[in-house]
Amino acid sequence: MLSKSDLEQVHNTSMRLLAEVGVEFPSEEALAVFREHGVRTEGSRVYLSEEQVMSSLEAAPAQFTIHARNPERSVTVGDGEPVFAPGYGAPFLVDPEVGKRAPTMDDYHNLVKLAHALPNQDLSGHLLVEPGDVPPETAHLQMLYAHMVHSDKPFIGSAEGSAGARHTMEMASILFGEGALAERAVTIGLINPLSPLGYSVDMAQALMEYARHRQPLIIAALVMAGSTGPITLAGVLAQQNAEILAGITLAQLVNPGTPVIYGSTSTNIDMRTGALAIGGPELALVVVATGQMAHHYGLPSRAGGALTDASFPDAQAGFESMLGLLTTVNSGIDFVLHAGGILSSYLAFSYEKFVLDDEMCGMVRRFRRGIEVTPETLAYDIIARVGPGGNFLTEPQTLERCRTEFWQPAVCDRGGLEAWMAGGQQDAIVRAQQRWQRLLAEHEDPPLDATTARQLQSFVGDGSITGENRVTL
């Protein structure tokens, strides 16, 4: 997408922005870190030279592992294989029966259980939806608890300011053991700049808390072309690059070697409505360019996902999500947040779309595997033996590979028209609903040491964990 000259021009423009315009960090703690390392500050604005930025990037690893409490589920970021995580931050749910509704904490527990069960979600995520029936000041504690007890996949931590980040570190220490955070990465935090060219106090403080414990960070800009950034995509790339690099530099100044992911969710706004547009080709273009920029700096990348502007998991949601997801995977993006469940330009989550998107993740994974060409797979001897007019159904190779050679859908209909009509003419929404209901009915929490479970309940507060979502000791 971008030539070598294009990459250099984006980089040079970003360096000018950092050196001449600066980035706002309204956190005295962050400003003190910059000043300690010789970075010029004026008020709350930080001015970084190219040398300071590039020197900081040298410490950041190109690859790292997020360890799960089940070692078999640990994931490596930056090894060439995409890591999928569910949608993040939706304030609403879309239900095929009642329409738009406010999520509850019970919904949150259900979605974590689904994230655990769905085969192509590599992390259980965080802030899958915003539950409206719990106090906002303690909601992150209950969310973290849900991920720790309902799943043994890696999870994303809270970035709700210094308190959310600190609570993540404390609960992770309970789950993995005292001193574990100093030895390895066990979670990851999502930090978003405040475009244009700024960071909120909460984000800056959360970033520093993660970095102090050397826990990984996704630093991902959301520049809205024509609103919080220039209308041109090249300008968006230059601005988001400056914002991301400023955050990465702070993380490395706090604790050199902290794993960081270069991330973007930037796209345009619809100039007719002012709404964010995440289902169009512009987001896909930015995804490709973001992967190139991250590679240019030797950093792992985050972008894209199964994204759509549609407000229901219909045909529009399907083709927009596939455009975003396939572009993301084909661009070599390492960490794919929003790999399942998102509707309505990040504003809504759907149980049914979560299931359908996970199926899509499996499909693009198989596509990405490509075609293996070896003497065995070329199958000359088998073709020669069967010869003209024969068939291969009873060949030993067919029997050996019949369950593994091809991608197998869990929701998609392949039964044929007559079977579909005789079976009640169920559409994809109905089949997806049946699948998530079955997965929840079959869910069992992974085993968790009783002492650890008791300590987590005590930390969160026993009164906030009730009913079926309480761990039985």
User: Is there a domain that residue 350 lies in?
Assistant: yes
Q: Which range marks the domain in which residue 22 is found?
A: 4-57
**pLDDT value for 462:** 52
**pLDDT value for 463:** 41
Is the per-residue pLDDT at 23 higher than 80?
yes
- Same domain, residue pair 125 and 246: yes
User: Is there a domain that residue 328 lies in?
Assistant: yes
- 323-344 residue pLDDT tens: 999 999 999 999 999 999 999 9
Amino acid residing at 334: D
State the total domains in the chain.
2
Give the three-class secondary structure for 430. Answer: helix
Residue (of 186, 187, 182) closest to 255 by Cα position: 182
User: Is there a domain that residue 374 lies in?
Assistant: no
Is the per-residue pLDDT at 472 higher than 90?
no
- Same domain, residue pair 26 and 98: no
Place of tokens 């590039």: 54
- 343-382 residue pLDDT tens: 999 999 999 999 999 999 999 999 999 999 999 999 999 9
* Structure tokens given for 295: 């590679």
- Same domain, residue pair 276 and 210: yes
- Same domain, residue pair 71 and 178: yes
For every residue of 165-234, DSSP letters joined together read HHHHHHHHHHHH-TTHHHHS--EEEEE---SSSB--HHHHHHHHHHHHTT--EEEEE--EETTTB-SSHH
- What are the beta bridge partners of residue 336? 84
- Same domain, residue pair 211 and 97: yes
- Same domain, residue pair 162 and 215: yes
Can the peptide bond before residue 446 be classed as cis, meaning omega within 30 degrees of 0?
A: no
Amino acid residing at 243: E
**pLDDT value for 461:** 87
- Same domain, residue pair 214 and 314: yes
Contacts of 68 (CB under 8 A, 6+ apart): 74, 75, 152, 153, 154
CB 229 within 8 A of CB 239: yes
- 129-143 residue pLDDT tens: 999 999 999 999 999
CATH code for the domain of 197 = 3.20.20.480
- 395-452 residue pLDDT tens: 999 999 999 999 999 999 999 999 999 999 999 999 999 999 999 999 999 999 999 9
- Same domain, residue pair 179 and 112: yes
- Same domain, residue pair 53 and 130: no
**pLDDT value for 473:** 35
CB 158 within 8 A of CB 186: no
- Same domain, residue pair 81 and 146: yes
Q: Which pLDDT band holds residue 155 (cuts at 50, 70, 90)?
A: very high
**What whole-number distance in Å separates Cα of residue 204 and Cα of residue 377?**
53
Q: Which pLDDT band holds residue 243 (cuts at 50, 70, 90)?
A: very high
**pLDDT value for 467:** 44
- 51-82 residue pLDDT tens: 999 999 999 999 999 999 999 999 999 999 99
**What whole-number distance in Å separates Cα of residue 92 and Cα of residue 130?**
7
In the predicted model, what is the mean pLDDT of residues 158-180?
97
- 287-299 residue pLDDT tens: 999 999 999 999 9
User: Is there a domain that residue 356 lies in?
Assistant: yes
- Same domain, residue pair 148 and 43: no
User: Is there a domain that residue 398 lies in?
Assistant: no
Q: What is the CA radius of gyration of the chain?
A: 23
Decide which of 369, 397, 428 is a domain's last residue: 369
Q: Which pLDDT band holds residue 470 (cuts at 50, 70, 90)?
A: very low
Strands 224-225 and 217-221 come out as unpaired
Contacts of 255 (CB under 8 A, 6+ apart): 211, 212, 213, 214
- Same domain, residue pair 32 and 71: no
